[in-house]
């Protein structure tokens, strides 16, 4: 597939619910990913719960072998409360994840939020050693006192080594933070590479449903940026929400209506556009004009190669962007808000996107 621009940002898919620790012995993932439940005292016995697309539970031992019907009944009897708590939390997280897809625009940064935001080193220093004081008999018996002194010296040496290693790691972090500060406060005004790195870091904050490519070009002395975003197809977004039955240990899927699915897809695509526009205007202070186009790769049936089918293309100036009320984004419809800009988009009455011709990336459109 041919791309219009030279620079590229490759964004990894967002991690949702995988390896989320709820309690000792429990981690949850999306449907089809294992639930690992600990039961009993201490570490407990690992049990794998496989959640099917229909919400039914398949019980397996820790080594992956299928449980017998009798073993599954015993597990449900002995660990019913733990299983229900795990599935209920899992259900709520799945629904929250679905809800977030339709509200991405609410996290759009204000264009005034320009500049470096400091981050503290997240790792705390090693806990200081509390030396053991000699008892009365160690004080009068030389060999025992000697062994205690050697043990205290060993512990002090280990702590000193651990503290030096922590200081090195913190110094490396601080050096990287200083470089980031220099980049975001100074280099983003004129250095295209610094602008790309800063933009990548901000775009990585978005929950992308799969690996996403963003190609872009800086023109007009870095005052104009043109971006192409690779978008998922409607079928790649979640198509159901979940509930927990009152009397059964399972999840119940509720498939979204076709209308609701199209609404979610529209909200997600417009939300992505808003987040990308927000990242550009908040983190690239020199940029005055953004040309943003979104496309979906469509495979050619003849040779299998993919070609871009553009769904929207919009031109936004910084002055237009700053007119939005960023204090009330929850009340804003991003699809409607985009009509205030120079927009190419064709949506049918049923909510489907028609393919459009994107704006040409020509600096003269300033």
pLDDT at 249 over 80: yes
Q: Is 330 helix (H, G, I), strand (E, B) or coil?
A: helix
What percent of the chain is predicted at pLDDT more than 90? 34
pLDDT tens per residue, range 223-239 = 888 999 999 888 888 88
Q: Are 347 and 266 in contact (CB under 8 A)?
A: yes
For the residues 284-291, what does the mean pLDDT come to?
89
Residue (of 217, 209, 362) closest to 280 by Cα position: 217
pLDDT at 302 over 70: no
Confidence of residue 209 (pLDDT cuts 50, 70, 90): low
Confidence of residue 265 (pLDDT cuts 50, 70, 90): very high
pLDDT tens per residue, range 326-344 = 999 999 999 999 999 999 9
pLDDT tens per residue, range 127-179 = 988 888 878 777 777 788 888 888 889 999 999 999 999 999 999 999 988 88
Question: Quick one: pLDDT at residue 202?
Answer: 78
- Tell me the range of 32-36, 69-73, 180-184 where mean pLDDT is highest: 69-73
11 vs 26, which has greater pLDDT?
Answer: 11
pLDDT at 16 over 90: no
Question: Quick one: pLDDT at residue 259?
Answer: 92
Lowest pLDDT segment from 140-144, 211-215, 309-313: 140-144
Enumerate the H helices of 186-297 as residue ranges.
Answer: 192-203, 258-283
Confidence of residue 34 (pLDDT cuts 50, 70, 90): low
- The DSSP 8-state label assigned to residue 326 in this structure reads G
Q: For the stretch 302-338, what's the b/e string if a residue is b when 16 or more beta carbons lie within 10 angstroms of its beta carbon?
A: eeeeeebbbbbbbbbbbeebeebebeebeebebbebb
Taking the CA atoms of residue 160, residue 163, residue 169 and residue 171 in that order, the dihedral angle to the nearest 10 degrees is -90
Please state the pTM of the whole predicted model.
Answer: 0.73
Confidence of residue 30 (pLDDT cuts 50, 70, 90): very low
The full DSSP string for 40-104 is SSTT---EEEEEPTTS-EEEEETTSPBPPHHHHHHHHHHSHHHHHHHHHHHHHHHHHHHHHHTTG
Q: Other C-beta atoms within 10 Å of 59: how many?
A: 21
Question: Quick one: pLDDT at residue 25?
Answer: 29
Enumerate long-range contacts of 154-162, CB under 8 Å, 24 or more apart. 155/129, 155/131, 156/129, 156/131, 158/129, 159/126, 159/128, 159/129, 162/126
For the residues 270-283, what does the mean pLDDT come to?
90
Separation of alpha carbons 71 and 286, rounded Å: 65
pLDDT tens per residue, range 77-118 = 888 888 888 888 888 888 988 898 889 899 898 888 766 677
Question: Quick one: pLDDT at residue 306?
Answer: 77
Separation of alpha carbons 93 and 155, rounded Å: 44
Question: Quick one: pLDDT at residue 37?
Answer: 56
Q: Is 11 helix (H, G, I), strand (E, B) or coil?
A: strand
278 vs 194, which has greater pLDDT?
Answer: 278
Separation of alpha carbons 85 and 23, rounded Å: 10
pLDDT at 193 over 50: yes
Structure tokens at 83: 């299983």
């Amino acid at each position: 597939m041919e791309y219009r621009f030279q620079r590229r940002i490759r964004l990894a898919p967002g991690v949702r619910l995988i390896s989320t620790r709820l309690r000792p012995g429990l981690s949850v993932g999306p449907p089809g990913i294992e639930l690992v439940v600990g039961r009993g005292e201490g570490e407990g016995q690992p049990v794998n719960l496989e959640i099917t697309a229909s919400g039914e539970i398949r019980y397996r031992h820790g080594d992956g072998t299928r449980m017998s019907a009798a073993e599954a009944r015993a597990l449900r009897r002995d660990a019913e409360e733990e299983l229900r708590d795990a599935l209920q939390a899992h259900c709520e997280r799945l629904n929250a994840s679905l809800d977030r897809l339709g509200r991405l625009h609410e996290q759009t940064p204000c264009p005034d939020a320009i500049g470096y935001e400091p981050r503290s080193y997240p790792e705390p220093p090693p806990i200081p050693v509390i030396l053991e004081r000699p008892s009365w008999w160690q004080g009068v018996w030389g060999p025992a006192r000697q062994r205690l002194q050697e043990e205290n010296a060993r512990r002090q040496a280990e702590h000193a080594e651990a503290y030096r290693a922590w200081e090195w790691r913190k110094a490396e972090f601080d050096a990287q933070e200083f470089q980031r500060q220099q980049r975001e406060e100074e280099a983003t005004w004129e250095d295209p590479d610094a602008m790309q790195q800063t933009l990548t870091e901000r775009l990585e904050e978005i929950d992308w449903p799969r690996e996403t490519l963003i190609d872009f070009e800086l023109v007009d002395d870095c005052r104009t940026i043109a971006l192409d975003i690779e978008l998922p197809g409607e079928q790649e977004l979640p198509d159901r929400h979940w509930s927990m039955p009152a009397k059964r240990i399972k999840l119940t899927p509720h498939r979204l209506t076709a209308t609701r699915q199209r609404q979610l897809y529209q909200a997600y695509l417009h939300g992505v556009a808003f987040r990308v526009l927000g990242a550009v205007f908040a983190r690239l202070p020199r940029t005055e004009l953004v040309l943003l186009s979104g496309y979906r790769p469509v495979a050619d049936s003849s040779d299998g190669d993919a070609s871009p089918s553009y769904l929207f293309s919009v031109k936004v100036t910084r002055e237009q962007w700053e007119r939005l009320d960023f204090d009330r984004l929850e009340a804003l419809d991003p699809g409607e808000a985009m009509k205030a800009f120079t927009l190419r988009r064709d949506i049918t009455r049923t909510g489907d996107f028609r393919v459009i011709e994107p704006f040409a990336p020509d600096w003269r459109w300033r």
